[in-house]
Amino acid sequence: MKSMTKFFFAALTSTLMAGSVFANDAAPKAEKPDLAKGEAIVAGVCAACHTADGNSTTPVNPKLAQQHPEYILKQLQEFKSGKRANPIMMGFASQLSDADMRNVAYFLGSKTAKPGFAKDKDTVALGEKIFRGGIADRQIAACAGCHSPNGAGMPAQYPRLSGQHADYTTSQLTQFRDGIRKNSVQMTQVAAKLNDREIKAVADYIAGLR
Protein backbone atom coordinates (compact mmCIF):
# COMPACT_ATOMS: atom_id res chain seq x y z
CA MET A 1 0.00 0.00 0.00
CA LYS A 2 2.80 2.43 0.91
CA SER A 3 4.60 1.74 -2.34
CA MET A 4 1.41 2.39 -4.32
CA THR A 5 0.86 5.65 -2.44
CA LYS A 6 4.41 6.79 -3.18
CA PHE A 7 3.93 5.87 -6.84
CA PHE A 8 0.66 7.84 -7.00
CA PHE A 9 2.17 11.02 -5.51
CA ALA A 10 5.27 10.71 -7.69
CA ALA A 11 3.09 10.43 -10.80
CA LEU A 12 0.89 13.32 -9.69
CA THR A 13 3.89 15.56 -9.01
CA SER A 14 5.38 14.69 -12.38
CA THR A 15 2.10 15.52 -14.15
CA LEU A 16 1.68 18.86 -12.36
CA MET A 17 5.26 19.85 -13.13
CA ALA A 18 4.81 18.97 -16.76
CA GLY A 19 1.55 20.88 -16.89
CA SER A 20 3.26 23.89 -15.37
CA VAL A 21 5.95 23.81 -18.03
CA PHE A 22 3.41 23.56 -20.83
CA ALA A 23 1.34 26.37 -19.32
CA ASN A 24 4.35 28.65 -19.16
CA ASP A 25 5.32 27.78 -22.72
CA ALA A 26 1.81 28.56 -23.92
CA ALA A 27 1.55 31.91 -22.14
CA PRO A 28 2.35 34.81 -24.45
CA LYS A 29 5.38 36.81 -23.43
CA ALA A 30 5.16 40.59 -23.62
CA GLU A 31 7.88 41.86 -25.90
CA LYS A 32 10.31 44.36 -24.45
CA PRO A 33 9.69 47.81 -25.92
CA ASP A 34 12.18 48.89 -28.56
CA LEU A 35 12.84 52.53 -27.70
CA ALA A 36 14.94 53.10 -30.81
CA LYS A 37 12.06 52.05 -33.05
CA GLY A 38 9.71 54.16 -30.94
CA GLU A 39 11.98 57.17 -31.37
CA ALA A 40 12.08 56.67 -35.14
CA ILE A 41 8.29 56.55 -35.38
CA VAL A 42 7.91 59.63 -33.18
CA ALA A 43 10.45 61.52 -35.32
CA GLY A 44 8.73 60.57 -38.56
CA VAL A 45 5.07 60.70 -37.54
CA CYS A 46 4.44 62.41 -34.19
CA ALA A 47 7.07 65.13 -33.92
CA ALA A 48 5.30 67.65 -36.15
CA CYS A 49 2.57 68.08 -33.51
CA HIS A 50 4.14 66.78 -30.28
CA THR A 51 7.88 67.48 -30.94
CA ALA A 52 10.60 64.85 -31.04
CA ASP A 53 10.73 64.44 -27.25
CA GLY A 54 6.98 64.73 -26.59
CA ASN A 55 7.16 68.23 -25.10
CA SER A 56 4.62 69.85 -27.38
CA THR A 57 5.01 73.60 -27.78
CA THR A 58 1.58 74.05 -29.35
CA PRO A 59 -1.10 74.57 -26.66
CA VAL A 60 -3.79 72.57 -28.48
CA ASN A 61 -1.54 69.51 -28.81
CA PRO A 62 -0.86 67.59 -25.60
CA LYS A 63 2.50 67.10 -23.99
CA LEU A 64 3.24 63.36 -24.05
CA ALA A 65 6.69 63.29 -22.46
CA GLN A 66 6.78 61.32 -19.19
CA GLN A 67 3.20 60.18 -19.67
CA HIS A 68 2.48 56.67 -18.41
CA PRO A 69 3.22 54.33 -21.34
CA GLU A 70 0.15 52.21 -20.58
CA TYR A 71 -2.05 55.28 -20.93
CA ILE A 72 -0.51 56.33 -24.25
CA LEU A 73 -0.85 52.78 -25.54
CA LYS A 74 -4.51 52.64 -24.52
CA GLN A 75 -5.27 55.95 -26.24
CA LEU A 76 -3.55 54.90 -29.46
CA GLN A 77 -5.47 51.63 -29.49
CA GLU A 78 -8.74 53.47 -28.94
CA PHE A 79 -7.97 55.98 -31.70
CA LYS A 80 -7.35 53.04 -34.02
CA SER A 81 -10.55 51.24 -33.01
CA GLY A 82 -12.61 54.44 -33.19
CA LYS A 83 -13.55 54.35 -29.53
CA ARG A 84 -11.87 57.74 -29.16
CA ALA A 85 -12.85 59.95 -32.06
CA ASN A 86 -10.28 62.34 -33.52
CA PRO A 87 -9.89 62.31 -37.33
CA ILE A 88 -6.20 63.26 -37.29
CA MET A 89 -5.15 60.78 -34.60
CA MET A 90 -7.37 58.04 -35.97
CA GLY A 91 -5.56 58.35 -39.30
CA PHE A 92 -2.12 58.11 -37.73
CA ALA A 93 -3.02 55.30 -35.30
CA SER A 94 -4.59 53.20 -38.06
CA GLN A 95 -1.13 52.82 -39.60
CA LEU A 96 0.49 51.54 -36.41
CA SER A 97 0.74 47.94 -35.25
CA ASP A 98 0.39 47.04 -31.59
CA ALA A 99 4.18 46.71 -31.41
CA ASP A 100 4.60 50.16 -32.97
CA MET A 101 2.21 51.69 -30.44
CA ARG A 102 4.01 50.01 -27.57
CA ASN A 103 7.39 51.25 -28.79
CA VAL A 104 6.09 54.81 -29.20
CA ALA A 105 4.38 54.77 -25.80
CA TYR A 106 7.46 53.62 -23.92
CA PHE A 107 9.78 55.99 -25.80
CA LEU A 108 7.61 59.00 -24.94
CA GLY A 109 7.21 57.79 -21.38
CA SER A 110 10.99 57.70 -21.03
CA LYS A 111 11.37 61.41 -21.86
CA THR A 112 11.33 64.10 -19.16
CA ALA A 113 8.39 66.51 -19.24
CA LYS A 114 9.14 70.21 -19.22
CA PRO A 115 7.22 72.19 -16.59
CA GLY A 116 4.29 74.42 -17.47
CA PHE A 117 2.86 77.50 -15.84
CA ALA A 118 -0.52 78.73 -14.65
CA LYS A 119 -1.38 82.07 -16.26
CA ASP A 120 -4.65 83.26 -14.74
CA LYS A 121 -4.11 84.65 -11.23
CA ASP A 122 -7.82 85.44 -10.87
CA THR A 123 -8.91 81.81 -11.03
CA VAL A 124 -5.97 79.95 -9.48
CA ALA A 125 -7.74 79.61 -6.11
CA LEU A 126 -10.83 78.12 -7.77
CA GLY A 127 -8.69 75.76 -9.84
CA GLU A 128 -6.80 74.61 -6.76
CA LYS A 129 -10.04 74.07 -4.85
CA ILE A 130 -11.49 71.85 -7.58
CA PHE A 131 -8.28 69.92 -8.14
CA ARG A 132 -7.49 69.27 -4.49
CA GLY A 133 -10.89 69.16 -2.85
CA GLY A 134 -13.58 69.01 -5.52
CA ILE A 135 -16.91 70.70 -4.92
CA ALA A 136 -18.69 68.73 -2.22
CA ASP A 137 -22.15 70.29 -2.43
CA ARG A 138 -22.33 69.41 -6.14
CA GLN A 139 -20.71 65.99 -5.71
CA ILE A 140 -17.72 66.89 -7.86
CA ALA A 141 -14.77 64.67 -6.96
CA ALA A 142 -11.30 66.09 -6.39
CA CYS A 143 -8.99 65.56 -9.37
CA ALA A 144 -6.15 64.74 -6.97
CA GLY A 145 -7.95 61.61 -5.83
CA CYS A 146 -7.13 59.88 -9.12
CA HIS A 147 -4.37 62.01 -10.63
CA SER A 148 -2.42 62.50 -7.35
CA PRO A 149 -1.84 65.80 -5.52
CA ASN A 150 1.03 66.85 -7.81
CA GLY A 151 -0.68 65.69 -11.01
CA ALA A 152 1.66 62.74 -11.58
CA GLY A 153 -1.25 60.34 -12.02
CA MET A 154 -1.19 56.63 -11.31
CA PRO A 155 0.50 54.27 -13.78
CA ALA A 156 -1.83 52.11 -15.88
CA GLN A 157 -4.87 53.77 -14.34
CA TYR A 158 -4.92 57.55 -14.48
CA PRO A 159 -2.82 59.80 -16.73
CA ARG A 160 -0.22 62.32 -15.74
CA LEU A 161 -1.66 65.85 -15.88
CA SER A 162 1.15 67.90 -14.35
CA GLY A 163 2.29 70.73 -16.64
CA GLN A 164 -0.18 69.90 -19.40
CA HIS A 165 -1.21 72.78 -21.68
CA ALA A 166 -4.29 74.49 -20.24
CA ASP A 167 -5.83 74.81 -23.71
CA TYR A 168 -5.60 71.07 -24.26
CA THR A 169 -6.99 70.17 -20.84
CA THR A 170 -9.84 72.64 -21.31
CA SER A 171 -10.64 71.09 -24.67
CA GLN A 172 -10.69 67.53 -23.32
CA LEU A 173 -12.82 68.37 -20.27
CA THR A 174 -15.28 70.19 -22.52
CA GLN A 175 -15.41 67.24 -24.90
CA PHE A 176 -16.06 64.86 -22.01
CA ARG A 177 -18.81 67.16 -20.70
CA ASP A 178 -20.46 67.57 -24.09
CA GLY A 179 -20.34 63.87 -24.97
CA ILE A 180 -17.85 64.28 -27.79
CA ARG A 181 -15.11 62.27 -26.12
CA LYS A 182 -16.58 59.00 -24.92
CA ASN A 183 -13.73 56.75 -23.87
CA SER A 184 -13.94 57.38 -20.11
CA VAL A 185 -17.26 57.10 -18.31
CA GLN A 186 -15.66 58.36 -15.10
CA MET A 187 -14.39 61.56 -16.72
CA THR A 188 -17.69 62.12 -18.50
CA GLN A 189 -19.49 61.99 -15.16
CA VAL A 190 -17.07 64.45 -13.53
CA ALA A 191 -16.93 66.91 -16.42
CA ALA A 192 -20.72 66.91 -16.79
CA LYS A 193 -20.96 68.85 -13.51
CA LEU A 194 -18.42 71.56 -14.40
CA ASN A 195 -19.21 74.89 -16.05
CA ASP A 196 -16.91 76.68 -18.50
CA ARG A 197 -15.30 78.89 -15.84
CA GLU A 198 -14.55 75.92 -13.59
CA ILE A 199 -13.08 73.91 -16.46
CA LYS A 200 -10.77 76.78 -17.46
CA ALA A 201 -9.76 77.39 -13.84
CA VAL A 202 -8.80 73.80 -13.08
CA ALA A 203 -7.06 73.42 -16.47
CA ASP A 204 -4.94 76.50 -15.79
CA TYR A 205 -4.09 75.27 -12.29
CA ILE A 206 -3.04 71.87 -13.70
CA ALA A 207 -0.67 73.60 -16.14
CA GLY A 208 1.33 74.91 -13.18
CA LEU A 209 1.56 71.64 -11.27
CA ARG A 210 4.98 70.03 -10.94
| 175-203 mean pLDDT | 98
For residue range 78-92, what is the model confidence (pLDDT) as tens digits?
999 999 999 999 999
Give the Cβ contact number of residue 134 at 10 Å.
18
- Looking at the chain, how many residues does it have? 210
Helix, strand, coil percentages for the chain (3-state, nearest 5): 60, 0, 40
For residues 163 and 160, what is the distance between their CA atoms, to the nearest angstrom? 9
Give the Cβ contact number of residue 126 at 10 Å.
18
Q: Sorting pLDDT into bands at 50, 70 and 90, what band is 142?
A: very high
In contact, 52 and 43? CB cutoff 8 Å: yes
> Domains in the chain and their CATH numbers?
35-109 (1.10.760.10), 124-207 (1.10.760.10)
| 141-166 mean pLDDT | 97
pTM of full prediction above 0.95 = no
Q: Residue 158 in 3-state DSSP?
A: strand
Residue 174: pLDDT above 50?
A: yes
**pLDDT > 90 fraction of the chain, expressed in percent and rounded:** 85
| 73-78 mean pLDDT | 98
